[in-house]
Amino acid sequence: MYTFVKLGGSVITDKAGREAADMALIARLAAELAAARSARPALRLILGHGSGSFGHHYAARYGVHRGLPPGSDYTGFALTAAAALRLNRIVVDALLAAGVPALALQPSAALQAAGGHIASWATGAIAQALSRGLVPVIHGDVAFDTDQGSAIISTEALLAYLALQTELRPARVILVGEDAVYTADPRTNPAAERVALISAANLDAVLHGAGGSHAVDVTGGMRSKLELMWRLVTAIPELEVRLIGPAPGNLAAVLRDEPIDVGTTIRLG
């Protein structure tokens, strides 16, 4: 069984800026991943990250996520892909510097979309990397789309495809982003309360209160992420999804299965 980890684009970059990577935070998260691997040598990780202020800016500017019909200028498509790769290089280099044997694997080189969703993805290289003790690193990316010309495939969609359509079945999915899911937006509502557990009993109420992103995001915001994660836990009943913030020690503790009362857990029961 595998552990999937996603570093949110809003965490590792300033999404309100322009290609503004948080180098110190990326280095610290890389160190926490390295420490967890040292503490648990059997830990098998697949790491993904968002594009934040790198890819989202170009995707929104050129409408790549809405589709580029035949005959369109695909320069924006190329610019979006290049920006995502620049952030990916920063993340992978930080992991390597921390002692994590990270291998960058660009999704768009092996992926085909249809109607904005993954139609096929040759994931053999990911499996081979894992078999050799490497940590594959993927990222939200552009995709050629048979229906609409182009699409943006989110990191969560990539991880969901791996979980549901391949043998790389996860026991855990850890999303490092917002500190937790709340009953309302804590930025504007001081009465907002942390939702420690999302299950069938409170799913509808939580989704009703979930809002979108607070900066440019062409992949849907919090509600779409929660809906996708719920689809995963219903398809894989033993799966646990953890949403945590980037505070020091959070990621390392969750990876080591240490009890830590932070964030939000999503599971069936």
Spans of all domains in the chain: 2-54+80-103+131-142+153-266
Give residue 16's pLDDT band: very low, low, confident or very high (50, 70, 90): confident
- The residue among 63, 139, 140, 135 whose CA lies nearest residue 103 is 135
Burial of residue 64 (number of CB atoms within 10 Å: 0-12, 13-18, 19+): buried
What pLDDT does residue 224 have? 83
Between CA 110 and CA 125 the distance in angstroms is 10
Contact 12, 91 (CB under 8 A): yes
Buried b or exposed e, range 126-140, using 16+ CB within 10 angstroms: beebbeeebbbbbbb
Contact 52, 87 (CB under 8 A): yes
What pLDDT does residue 187 have? 82
The structure tokens listed for 72 are 């369109």
Which tops the pLDDT comparison, 45 or 186? Answer: 45
- The residue among 88, 85, 79, 86 whose CA lies nearest residue 60 is 79
Give residue 18's pLDDT band: very low, low, confident or very high (50, 70, 90): confident
CA within 13 Å, CB half, 190: 0
Between CA 142 and CA 51 the distance in angstroms is 11
105-119, 140-154, 190-204: which has the minimum mean pLDDT? 190-204
What pLDDT does residue 68 have? 93
46-50, 124-128, 212-216, 258-262: which has the minimum mean pLDDT? 212-216
Which tops the pLDDT comparison, 205 or 155? Answer: 155
CATH architecture type of domain 2-54+80-103+131-142+153-266: 3-Layer(aba) Sandwich (3.40)
Q: Which residues contact 53 (CB under 8 A, 6 or more apart)?
A: 9, 13, 14, 15, 16, 17, 18, 19, 20, 215, 216
What pLDDT does residue 15 have? 72
CA torsion sign for 89, 42, 176, 241 is: positive
Give percent of the chain above pLDDT 70: 96
Between CA 160 and CA 10 the distance in angstroms is 20
The 10s digit of each residue's pLDDT in 194-234 is 999 999 999 988 888 775 444 444 445 678 888 999 999 99
CA within 13 Å, CB half, 5: 25
φ/ψ of residue 159, rounded to 5: -65, -35
- The residue among 150, 141, 142 whose CA lies nearest residue 70 is 150
User: For 129-148, what is the mean pLDDT?
Assistant: 97
The 10s digit of each residue's pLDDT in 54-111 is 988 888 899 999 999 888 999 999 999 999 999 999 999 999 999 999 999 999 999 9
What pLDDT does residue 218 have? 47
Give percent of the chain above pLDDT 90: 77
pTM summary value: 0.92
